[in-house]
Amino acid sequence: MADPTLFEFLHTEMVAELWAQDPDPGPGGQKTSLLVLEGMGFRVGQALGERLPRETLAFREELDILKFLCKDLWVAVFHKQMDSLRTNHQGTYVLQDNSFPLLVRMASGLQYLEEAPKFLAFTCGLLRGTLSTLGVKSLVTASVAALPSCKFQVVIQKP
Amino acid sequence: MTVHNLYLFDRNGVCLHYSEWHRKKQAGIPKEEEYKLMYGMLFSIRSFVSKMSPLDMKDGFLAFQTSRYKLHYYETPTGIKVVMNTDLGVGPIRDVLHHIYSALYVELVVKNPLCPLGQTVQSELFRSRLDSYVRSLPFFSTRAG
């Protein structure tokens, strides 16, 4: 696979470009940019969902799909595995990454905390897109308590 | 053996970072003036060294020393200059300065989406990693030499 820095630089520029074009610093404008980033991540995730699973064909249950996200998807995109996966066995999963590569160079603690969500929107979409190709409709949100550790919350939507 | 202070400049003379560990005497001028003075001196020495060198230039200006301290210099092809003042017992530290550039500046500032290049570095992570790296160097001791 390619040098991870290439994707990191590209992602940095995507976030910067979307924020630079948006002259309205209020919550309305910010939300649009976050949605655009999430949409981009969604389409990339959809494609990756088709391309990635090669040997692992039998996803017997939801948990297997989530494990696939934590292991194979994370390794393919970020070259490391997710650090922890928790669930309430009722459709909500919390994926925790203690040193998320897109955040790890920014700070180790609380500096830049309010900027962090911008850098997580694309990845939320990525997770949602991959899940959607694998047949699971979901809602993904991210939260950061202290960089570079972050949590992605996946809530499965029952039809 | 000790490290007194460290300056980091970019190719336009902007002082990106300054830290000090053991400095008994200040320059007596405001910090902005001090940075300009340091940068101007480096610029002049570099061109002096390349003009007056009796042999073909290999690495150019590396260091100068006085009876009390030694100033080490490292410049990258992109114009980033790392300047470290240490006491006299310290030998060539080009690899240390290179590590400061590649493993600290490039990793934590260039790759940080929130650090605009060409301005003083605000990242706390960079500051603290640089501090712990310098403190871990074999020639850094808490007793000022």
Contacts of B102 in chain A (CB under 8 A): none
| pLDDT tens track for A93-114 | 999 999 898 888 888 878 888 8
Contacts of B117 in chain A (CB under 8 A): none
> pLDDT class for A14, splitting at 50, 70, 90?
confident
Alpha helices in chain B (DSSP H): 31-52, 94-99, 124-135
CA-based nearest residue in chain B for residue A116: B114
| pLDDT tens track for B46-62 | 999 989 888 888 888 89
> pLDDT class for A66, splitting at 50, 70, 90?
confident
pLDDT of residue B145: 44
For an interface test with A, which of B107, B114, B121 has the most A Cβ atoms less than 10 Å from its Cβ?
B114
Work out the mean pLDDT of chain A and round it to a whole number.
Answer: 85
Contact A115 B128 (CB under 8 A): no
The yes-or-no verdict on residue A159 having pLDDT over 50 is yes
Ramachandran bin of A112, using left for φ above 0, alpha for ψ from -120 to 50, beta for the remaining angles: left
A5 touches chain B (CB under 8 A): yes
A9 touches chain B (CB under 8 A): yes
**Residue B95: CA count within 13 A, CB half-sphere:** 2
Q: Number of helices (H) and strands (E) in chain B: give both, helices first.
A: 3, 5
The yes-or-no verdict on residue A23 having pLDDT over 60 is no
Contact B112 A115 (CB under 8 A): no
How many Å apart are CA A88 and CA A73, to the nearest integer?
22
ipTM associated with this complex: 0.73
Contact A112 B128 (CB under 8 A): no
> pLDDT class for A55, splitting at 50, 70, 90?
low
Q: Which of A15, A105, A109 sits opposite B112 (nearest CB)?
A: A105
CA-based nearest residue in chain B for residue A148: B125
The yes-or-no verdict on residue A127 having pLDDT over 90 is yes
> pLDDT class for A25, splitting at 50, 70, 90?
low
pLDDT of residue B18: 94
Task: Give mean pLDDT, residues A79-93.
Answer: 90
pTM, rounded to two decimals: 0.81
A3 touches chain B (CB under 8 A): no
Give me the residues of chain B with pLDDT under 70, please.
Answer: 142-145
pLDDT of residue B85: 93
For an interface test with B, which of A105, A115, A123, A149 has the most B Cβ atoms less than 10 Å from its Cβ?
A105
Rg (CA), chain A: 15
pLDDT of residue A123: 92
Contact A115 B114 (CB under 8 A): yes
Q: What is the percent of chain A where pLDDT is above 90?
A: 31
Q: In the numeric block, which tokens belong to residue A93?
A: 């999963």
pLDDT of residue A22: 61
